[in-house]
Amino acid sequence: MLFDFGVGITLIIIGLLAVPFPMLISGYNILPKEKKEKVDIKGLSHLIRSWLVGMGVSLIIGSVLLELFGLQEIKGPFIGILLLGGCFLLLIKTNRYIP
């Protein structure tokens, strides 16, 4: 359960840092200047913040609920589906902000 909290808190912290420090967004800092100007970095950083904080909170709440109901054996698949599915959907949603 400590691992779940650690991963959840890490996602929340990284999400909160995405808006004030957009250079943390993977790939943005290596774009040429012309392409950087076309990226809606404000919208993109807010989207990433929302998704990462949401995934972190969902991970923590889901892990606590699974522990309370005695369903520890499905915690691994839960974490995998949540993180992989969340990252996949986030990747699809970011296409709106990057031309």
Residue 98, CA distances (Å) to 1, 22, 43, 44 in order: 37, 14, 10, 8
Q: Side-chain half-sphere of 17: how many Cα atoms within 13 Å?
A: 10
Min mean pLDDT across 6-10, 22-26, 51-55, 78-82 is at 22-26
Identify whether the C-beta of residue 39 lies closer than 8 Å to the C-beta of residue 31. yes
Please, which pLDDT band fits residue 36 given cuts at 50, 70 and 90? Answer: confident
Assess whether pLDDT exceeds 90 at residue 29: no
Assess whether pLDDT exceeds 90 at residue 55: yes
The burial of 73, by beta-carbon neighbours within 10 Å (0-12 exposed, 13-18 middle, 19 or more buried), is given as exposed
pLDDT of res. 99: 76
Mean pLDDT across 19-46: 89
pLDDT of res. 71: 92
Assess whether pLDDT exceeds 80 at residue 18: yes
pTM above 0.85, yes or no: yes
